[in-house]
Structure 1
Amino acid sequence: MQKNKRRWLGLFLLVILIMTLVSGCQSQTIASVGPTKTVTDCMDREVVIPADPQRVACLYASTAHIMAMLNQQDKIVGIPNGIKRDVLMTYKRPDIDSISVPFQEGSINIEELLATNTDLVLIRESTAQNKGEVEKLDKAGIPWVVVDYASLEELEKAITVAGNVFNESERAEGFNSYVRDTLALVEHRVYGIPDSSRVAVYHAVNEAARTDLNGDLCSQITDVAGVINVSTEGGSLISDAEKTMTTLEQIYTWNPDAIIANDANTTKYILTDSKWTGLNAVKNKQVTTLPVGVTRWGHPGSIEPHMAALFIAKLFYPDAFTDIDLVQTTRDYYKNWFDLDLTDEAITDILSGEGMRLSK
């Protein structure tokens, strides 16, 4: 009887050992297949990843946009649902509606993600700081790289990181150089405009009362464009990790000369809602929707802030940009950096801010 107990105990321990080994092997399968390399991500983490990633899940919208710029869009196997609303992304990936959505409302669906057989995941910093979310990836053995930014400087770093990930460092540096050159051109053109002639602008980020915080990507765009961003001049602002909100009362206190909005519906709301009609910008019909291309040019997650700066500066200081044909500049930009031959109609839609991002 005692011998049988010992034998059964031995078999039980053996089964446990085998299960542990199998589990450990499964958790390391994706990370250990094929050659690897080490990259440094946007949180300065050194990460071992596949040397040539082939199946990539983008759990932050901007990472998919960056992959499209690097001509790596065919490797995308997972995206946030919002990417399916970006019309130019559907040009880059006609099958975008069928791509898996393993990340919604800040949470990773690990079963959905594993079903994509991804060999690399790109995430934003807020996801990386969520212990529960990254544990899902670590337990599954899926390598993850942080590609995120909140300023022009950080965007340049994010593009560089992505270039290293996809062995496209030369193209990444070329794009960064184009961004720097465009921003420098705009800054040079508006440099001599006296303060008394600068336009005071309120920027509505998607929602009418969502705006910019001094030092963030959007405020840097308006700084380069030479306008006075009223929300950075002081006043009632409530900020968290995701957004900065103000009040209509505060906007009336600022009473800007003009309003720019990231969303056409927001523009229509501001122009038609009776609560806004007392503002000078609304009275004078100085409310403009910013362009929408691969990204919304003036959005905090835009990879196209240089295009937003050029558009805003030309809008308010046209005499300084008489030689700039924005239609041709936009056409060339999307051809050179996204390999897209756009129709006149598409460019018109991009510059109007309408029709290039589908409704929910």
Structure 2
Amino acid sequence: MKKNKKTRFGLVMIFFMMTIFLSGCQAQAPISTVPTKTIVDCMDREVVIPEDPQRVACLYASTAHMVAMLGEADKIIGIPNGVKRDVLMSYKLPDIASLSVPFQDGTINIEELLTSKTDLVLIRQSTAENEGEIEKLDKAGIPWVVVDYSSLAGLKKAITVTGDIFDQKEKAAGYNAYVQEILDLVTERLSQIPETSRIRIYHAVNEAARTDLNGDLCTQITDVAGVINVSTQGGSLITDAEKTMTTLEQIYAWNPDAIIANDINATKYMLSDSKWSGLGAVVNQRVTTLPVGVTRWCHPGSMEPQMAALFIAKLFYPEQFMDIDLVQTTKEYYKKWFDLDLSDEDVSAVLSGAGMRLSK
């Protein structure tokens, strides 16, 4: 009897030890890893990312636009709230309203990224420079890539980087070539217009008193478009990391021939508020709302600078562009690069700057 008890005890101990041993082996077994690749981002960082990312959070609006252009919109699982207001993006992402918003007011919601099983995050440089926000991503083990720009050259690099991420190098290079082709066309056609005959414009960026900083993307666009951007001529400008503001007094001092605005509400305000009524551009009704397509065409975050340059140039120097049908050009552009079949009504809305970006 004692022998049987000892035998049973011995068997139990052997089973117990085997269980511990097998559990230990299981805990130490190698974890399967996703294939990776190394790319260089817009801050010239070498970054190891999934070879074929499937669940991408675009924490900077322009990255979502670029991903859509490359035909990878179905991989977007997170966007800023502002992208949900872009009508053409809703055509590319029918479920856009239900996508998560893991980034608001400069803060990353890491729980949202983990819940949505994000395997790659695209951010702008200002986020990358915030140690607290980057620490969240690093601790969670979520790779991140900086895709950002503030100039034409920077935009081309950002598109190239995004092409590298999704193995869409050929399409990215094609888009960059198309952008340069249109910019070159506009430059060539305006090359004979003397400086003294060029239109002086004021550019209102979203808000009536927000404008451009010399050397930024918007002033490069207006330079190509052959106009003189008065904000580059000196005067009262207050600039922070995000905006350049001026004053109504300064705009009166500049006394531009015309005004172009990114937002139709800014246009309506300038045309209706009595404080603006003494400006020559307002008196002469030369206040134009710029087109809104996938992005606002002449905007610091635009990925469509060639379309803005063509529109502005044709607006102020129509004789040089009599052969260009903007409606047809716009239709062809969105079909080729975004696979969107826009109706005449869609294109009319895009070119008017009205109705293609929903109200907050």
Fold shared per TM-score above 0.5 = yes
Distance 2:277 2:116 in 1: 50
Aligned residue in 2 for 1:233: 233
The answer to whether the 8 Å contact 1:70/1:171 transfers is: yes
Does structure 1 residue 269 correspond to structure 2 residue 272?
no
Q: Which residue of 2 aligns with 1:197?
A: 197
- State percent identity of aligned pairs: 74
Pick the structure with greater CA Rg. 2
**One-letter amino acid matched to 2:226:** G
Q: Which residue of 2 aligns with 1:251?
A: 251
Asked if 2 retains the 8 angstrom alpha-carbon contact of 1:33 and 1:50, the reply is: no
CA distance in structure 2 between the aligned counterparts of 1:63 and 1:306, rounded to whole angstroms: 18
SS at match of 1:358: coil
Residue identity matched to 1:147 = V
How many Å apart are 1:285 and its aligned residue? Answer: 0.1
Q: Supply the AA of the counterpart residue of 1:240.
A: D
Residues in 2 aligned to 1:33 and 1:61: alpha-carbon distance in whole angstroms: 30
Cα drift, residue 34 of structure 1: 1.3
Distance in 2 (CA, whole Å) between partners of 1:185 and 1:330 is 16
CA distance in 2 between partners of 1:89 and 1:328 (Å): 20
**2:282 aligns to what?**
282
Give the aligned partner of residue 66 of structure 1: 66
| Equivalent residue number for residue 344 of structure 2 | 344
- Tell me, in whole angstroms, the C-alpha distance in 1 between the residues paired with 2:187 and 2:240: 30
Q: Structure 1 residue 231: deviation in Å?
A: 0.3
Specify the code of the residue in structure 2 equivalent to 1:249: E
Counterpart check, 1:125 vs 2:125: yes
Give how far 1:196 is off: 1.5
1:115 aligned residue: 115
Aligned to 2:54: 54
TM-score by length of 2: 0.91
The CA deviation string for residues 291-313 of structure 1, in whole angstroms up to 9 with x for no partner, is 00000001100000110000000
Contact 1:261/1:290, CA 8 A, preserved across alignment: yes
TM-score (norm 1): 0.91
SS in 1 for 2:285: coil
C-alpha separation between the residues in 1 aligned to 2:41 and 2:103? 20
Q: Measure, in 1, the Cα distance between the counterparts of 2:149 and 2:359.
A: 26
Q: Could you say which residue in structure 2 is the equivalent of 1:17? A: none
CA distance in 1, matches of 2:40, 2:203: 34
- Give the drift of 1:33: 3.4
SS state at 2:154 partner:
helix
Output the amino acid matched with 1:204: A
2:249 and 2:279 map into 1 onto residues whose CA distance is 11
For structure 1, the residue ranges without an aligned partner over 5 or more in a row are 1-21
1:120-177, Cα deviation, whole Å (9 max, x unpaired): 0000000000000000000000000000000000000000000000000000000000
User: Secondary structure at the residue paired with 1:101?
Assistant: coil
- Whether 1:177 and 2:177 are equivalent positions in the alignment is yes
CA distance in 2, matches of 1:324, 1:284: 26
Runs of at least 4 residues off by over 6 Å? none
Q: Distance in 2 between matches of 1:116 and 1:253?
A: 52
- Give the aligned CA root-mean-square deviation in angstroms: 1.3
Aligned partner of residue 221 in structure 1, secondary structure: helix
User: Partner of 1:33 in structure 2?
Assistant: 33
Match of 1:45 in 2: 45
Structure 2 counterpart of 1:92: 92
Question: Within 2, Cα distance between the matches of 1:229 and 1:52?
Answer: 43
Q: Post-superposition shift, 1:113?
A: 1.2
Q: Distance in 2 between matches of 1:191 and 1:126?
A: 37
Shift of 1:261: 0.1
**Which whole-Å CA distance do the structure 2 matches of 1:33 and 1:88 have between them?**
37
**Counterpart amino acid of residue 311 in structure 2:** F
Q: How much does 1:201 deviate?
A: 0.1
Aligned to 1:210: 210
Deviation at 1:198, TM superposition (A): 0.4
Match in the other structure for 1:314: 314
Return the letter of the residue paired with 2:357. R
Question: Which residue of structure 2 lines up, in the alignment, with residue 187 of structure 1?
Answer: 187
Partners of 2:113 and 2:189 in 1: how far apart?
Answer: 47
Amino acid at match of 2:278: G
